Copies of this chain bind each other. A is one copy, B any other.
């Protein structure tokens, strides 16, 4: 394992509720993004049931294959939570109660009243494991560095996992391995298809300079063109400029820029300090996107929105009101939206084609309205 050039990592997502589809595994996507940026990209993810023997085999096999094995979930207090047992079996070590972990658990529960005896399972440790503190939950994590393979157990609750990752597991990994972090730049465009964008980009996409990877992805908020390198991040800048130029006015931003903040900034420049919305037949897709937009200096502020027939009665008070309605699908399953803006900034009623189906179609409708704002103001 120690002789490979670049350390390899895999993830075990533990919990029968994942396999039953009761929970969507957002932890895997979060850790996938983080590990890619750290220069330790995931080679595989497995979702596994709460079954001690299955977990023991999975930990043992993963520790043979990969330098780093991360696991989330199965650290709760109930008899279903078997990640500790599974890893202990894979290591051939015995679980023992750790006095300082027990003291910390009892301290934590003092504020809430008596500690249920089942929580004592969370004070168990094997000799080669170092505990990872969980400041916002009862489940401590484990860090095991043995036989040139590292294994980390983290809680399944996303907020607890993310904090433990950022404060403990990631710094541990950075100290333990020589890592070449991945620099990532993204150019985003709306109103152009994936293959048309690829044609316009030409060599920038199909034949980037040595040491740089380029890719193109279709998303609800448009096309994302992504450049990555484990080398000097500054090498990506000329590619970003070329991509923006090639995509012309379809390009709306880079990296963390999103369509909502881009549209709100355009409104601000056009003299509107506040925006309200009135949407029909989109199940509040526009509301949901605007409500979570980050506020920015000089940009219009989203103050709320009305749905369907409600908008006629409510007449929201804002400098500008954006109206969106989804029109019925045509015989070929294609959809159009009708968009207009009234108030201190105006856009006459415009019909736009949108792609996709299901909930995706509703989000695309909302993004098409936001795209029209940033283009026309």
Chain A window 306-346, contacts with chain B (Cβ cutoff 8 Å), 1 for yes, 0 for no: 11111101111110000000000000110000000000000
Q: Establish whether residues A304 and B315, one from each chain, have CB atoms under 8 Å apart when the complex forms.
A: no
Chain A window 93-129, contacts with chain B (Cβ cutoff 8 Å), 1 for yes, 0 for no: 0000000000000000001000010000000000000
Known contacts A304-B305, A317-B314; A46/B49 CB under 8 A: no
Q: Please name 10 pairs of A and B residues whose Cβ atoms are closer than 8 Å in the assembled complex, sorted by A.
A: A17-B217, A19-B41, A22-B217, A25-B25, A42-B47, A43-B49, A44-B47, A45-B47, A162-B358, A287-B305
Q: Establish whether residues A47 and B28, one from each chain, have CB atoms under 8 Å apart when the complex forms.
A: yes
Question: Which of A29-37, A146-154, A166-174, A244-252 lines the interface with chain B?
Answer: A29-37
Q: Other than A302-B307, A304-B305, give 13 A-B pairs with Cβ distance below 8 A.
A: A19-B36, A21-B35, A22-B33, A24-B24, A24-B28, A44-B46, A44-B47, A162-B358, A284-B291, A285-B291, A303-B308, A303-B311, A310-B318
Tell me if A53 is interfacial: C-beta within 8 Å of chain B: no
Q: Establish whether residues A310 and B303, one from each chain, have CB atoms under 8 Å apart when the complex forms.
A: yes
Looking at the assembled complex, report how far the CB atom of A13 sits from the nearest CB atom of chain B, in whole angstroms.
8
Q: Establish whether residues B23 and A29, one from each chain, have CB atoms under 8 Å apart when the complex forms.
A: yes
Looking at the assembled complex, report how far the CB atom of A337 sits from the nearest CB atom of chain B, in whole angstroms.
17
Give the residue among A17, A162, A316, A318 with the most B Cβ atoms within 10 A.
Answer: A316
Tell me if A26 is interfacial: C-beta within 8 Å of chain B: yes
What residues on B are CB-neighbors of A332 within 8 Å?
111
Chain A window 153-164, contacts with chain B (Cβ cutoff 8 Å), 1 for yes, 0 for no: 000001100100
Partner of A357, one of B31, B136, B278, B287: B136
Looking at the assembled complex, report how far the CB atom of A300 sits from the nearest CB atom of chain B, in whole angstroms.
11
User: CA separation between A314 and B278, bound complex, in Å?
Assistant: 13
Give the residue among A36, A278, A287, A290 with the most B Cβ atoms within 10 A.
Answer: A287
Known contacts A44-B46, A283-B291, A288-B284; A21/B25 CB under 8 A: no
274-309 of chain A: CB within 8 A of chain B: 274, 276, 278, 283-285, 287-288, 290-292, 301-309
Q: Is the interface of A mostly helix, strand, loop or mixed?
A: mixed
Partner of A19, one of B23, B30, B44: B44
What residues on B are CB-neighbors of A315 within 8 Å?
317
What residues on B are CB-neighbors of A136 within 8 Å?
333, 357
User: CA separation between A46 and B25, bound complex, in Å?
Assistant: 12
What residues on B are CB-neighbors of A288 within 8 Å?
284, 287-288, 291
